[in-house]
A and B are shown apart, each in its own frame.
Chain A
Amino acid sequence: MGEKKKKKVRTIKIDLDKCNGCRACEVICSAFHANPKYSSNNPARSRIRMIRDPMRDVYVPVYAGEYTPAECMGRDKYMIGEKEYDECSFCRAVCPSRDRFKEPDSGLPVKCDMCEGEEEPLCVKWCITGALTCEEREEEVEEGVDMKAMETGLGSLVDKYGLEKVAATVARMAQKG
């Protein structure tokens, strides 16, 4: 069985209505992650990026998420109220279809680490309008293998291919080592 550990989890709440498009978040994020710290800044390196289109009143801060090797086949467009947002507006992925969330020189993905070790994420600290706020909560996380997830996964394979085929495949894989 796994150990139960207490972990501090941060959630950043983004209020689109409060955003004024100043991009201070991009400035301080890129400065904080410079090496040495604060020695330079460059919004292109920021882990948070503004999707900004004043003409359509679109102001969306988005945080860097996971890397994906392929673009989505189709994309989602959101209508909220009477406002239309671009496809990809809310997406956090480091994706081949765009430059966002990649270092401009190396092309490597950037990752938001919630400024772990700092009192609060720097973007939240520098967002004076309150569009970015941070909540911290403690969660009990079981360290070790999550058996339930594995069972669910296996169950779905069994549903799809049948128990015999799954068992045979596992046996063959075990032989190969």
Chain B
Amino acid sequence: MRYGETGYNLEIDLTKGTIERVETDPKDTELHLGGLGTNAKILWDRVPAETDPFSPDNILIFSTGLLCSTPAPGANRTIVATYSPQTLFMAYSMMGGVFAPELKFAGYDKLIFRGKSPNLVYVWIHNDKVEIRDAGHLKGKGAVETQELIKKELNEPDAQVAAIGLAGENRVYMASIEQGRSSASRLGVGAVMGDKGIKAIAVRGTKDVNVARPAEFLQLCNEVLEYIKFREERPIPNVMTILQGLGSPQEMKHTDEKWHTENFMWGNARTRRKDFWNKEIEEKWEKTQLGARKRLISCYNCPMKCGAIISLPGVPTYMMKCFSKLTYTMAAYVEDLDFAFKIAQRATEYGVDGFSTPQTMAFAVELYDAGILTDKDFEGCPSDNEGRFYWLLDRIARREGIGDILADGTYWAAKKIGKGAEAYAHNNIKKHEQLPLKLGMLNPVYFLMYCTGEKMNITQIEGQFPQSPFVTMEEREEFIKDWTQVPDEKFKQYVLDWEIRGEKSNPYYPTPEIATEIVDWQEMMHFIDDALGVCAGLSSFPLKPPYHIHNYPKLISAATGVDMDEEKLKEIYRRNRNLVRAINVRRGLRRADEKPPEDHWKKRFPELEEKLLDTYYKFKGWNIDGIPTKETLQGLGLDYVAEDFLKRGILKDDEAAPDKGIAAETGKR
């Protein structure tokens, strides 16, 4: 009897059209837990280092997490993993909703796709019955539309469907995978799904999922629920509204957007509008949002209501969550929330990432204004901001004209366009678009996260530690007094010591050593969430969450029957973390790649930044080039990685000069 997991993966070879149900090794669960951890093992073992993301040898994995489908609240995440066509490194993207729970109830922990289908297909999984079906009639259909059509076609209203839209079919590097109100958006996972010819995956499952120690597990789940209720009644004082509660940023609930509109950048991560928010806009936007929003909705077994059903007159109904409410309208310099909801509907049907896409479109507009892109490139484009953005969105999703170049994202587009365009692709890390944020003073904790985060997205590594110091000592003491989630009491002292100005302020405090510990804690929680399939919104992302390092080991023990404690769990985190790093190192990742956008902070400190990275690498057990050392790898049971690195010359036996590394530009099409 397997607990938590089902013990089976579905291996689907799209070239041959074969489907196999394969039993998994429980040892892998013990070493890596599941989700992102076991995904990394599969990619390391089975996809050669030089594989092009659009090669049939690239593997696309849809994984449940170890706790998905147990009663643990918020354990509903699907972890998609593959190689990114944009960054050429490992891509992992998560989505909530109901897909992973349904997949596990159908009896599978993972779907592993290899090869490529010669025709567009969709996969239908109904417990033991798995079919690859023709999807020719769904070609070109929207991601949202496709889900409804498939459910009707199969006469299965309770099936969960993950689908790509036109953007995924056209291998747009910003293509997303959409499912209900959730999406796996970033790093081009939708493009790989489209490249493999998979239009959609439909799942329906009616089997049991077991836990080892039922009463104990339920007790822990009840405690999580109690704490959620407790925490929701006590928003954290003295921090920004959207950092006060649990869940992902409650963009569907809150209508007060002063913080976002005045602190995040408009256009191509370009302009700060400090006096934007006023009473008139507040009233107008509130009216629009409350009118458009039909209902606040949740993901599977989660009491938070981060999503919403959006229904506007004349526009098909769809679902939305989080920051994509504002990203299009701010990128376009359009001050109309109505536009925001309308263009997001079209974007969701195309299936595109709500961070990269608006930025890429704003980038194109800047290039046009600068004369680098010409009237010819923009032939047929309306002249108003709104019209322009709709037009650009259509071109990108269809890879038409200038859209074909823009569809590769700002980094590759700038390279292709030339003529100085590269200066305008100014908001990337490792070729991937970042949040539109440009700040003043360097924050050492954030510096390290931007540089080294393997998800290449700040929201997937930040969370547990306050983003900025509290102004008064009273506020700090208030914050730490019930901060049970800290792995160690020393983190409370760090909050007490952190000042707005003076010696103990940014950028020199937190010190490199302290910043390192903070980042490691934050990253640890994300990595554990991504292996267990628990939503970061109840765990690694908000302050003072219900899931933390102290109750996670108990939950894992009770669910699986395998005894877990904090030290063992931390070791599993380090193993998974180093394995993901190893995959990217093997593809050429080096220290030189680990830097935030040049203009991310006005005030930069080159010497301090070097010291920060040095300290962080040392702490992680990596050499000066960011490569895990032989000792670190062997200490985590990753001897096979060390061997591979030694063979390739990535690591030298004597740990002398670090390898220069293959340029990450190999494998271009």
Contact = CB atoms under 8 A, between A and B. Distances in A.
A128 B295 CA distance: 16
A42 B208 contact: yes
B305 interface: yes
B53 to A, nearest CB: 32
Contacts, number: 86
B305 A38 contact: no
B233 to A, nearest CB: 11
B328 interface: no
A14 interface: no
A129 B300 CA distance: 14
Interface stretch (B69-77, B448-456, B646-654): B69-77
B248 to A, nearest CB: 14
B301 interface: yes
A38 B298 contact: no
Contact of B294 (A28, A37, A45, A57): A57
Contact of A44 (B70, B206, B225, B296): B206
A136 B317 CA distance: 39
Contacts of A20: 295-298, 303, 305
B317 A38 contact: no
Contacts of A40: 208-211
Contacts of A65: none
Contacts of B69: 41
Of listed B69, B157, B208, B317, residue having the most chain A CB within 10 A: B208
Interface stretch (B56-64, B212-220, B470-478): B212-220
Q: Which size class do A's interface residues fall under?
A: 20 to 34
B55 interface: no
A27 B218 CA distance: 11
Given A22-B299, A24-B73, A128-B228, A44 B210 contact: no
Contacts of A41: 69-71, 208-209
A91 B180 CA distance: 25
Interface string A35-50: 0111111111100000
A81 B9 CA distance: 46
B105 A42 contact: yes
B302 interface: yes
A74 interface: no
A59 interface: yes
A96 to B, nearest CB: 16
B348 to A, nearest CB: 13
Interface in A71-85: none
B229 interface: yes
A137 B252 CA distance: 38
Contact of B301 (A23, A37, A54, A57): A23
Contact of B215 (A23, A38, A56): A38
A31 interface: yes
A104 B299 CA distance: 23
A92 B585 CA distance: 57
B303 A39 contact: no
Nearest to B316: A55
Contacts of A21: 297-298
Contacts of A53: 157
Interface in B296-344: 296-303, 305, 309, 311, 317, 319
B89 to A, nearest CB: 35
Given A27-B71, A39-B210, A128-B225, 16 more contacts: A21-B298, A24-B73, A24-B301, A27-B301, A28-B71, A34-B208, A37-B215, A42-B207, A43-B105, A44-B105, A45-B208, A53-B157, A54-B297, A57-B309, A59-B297, A104-B207
5 contacts: A39-B214, A42-B209, A55-B148, A57-B309, A104-B206
Interface of A: 20-24, 27-28, 31, 34, 36-45, 53-57, 59, 104, 126, 128-129
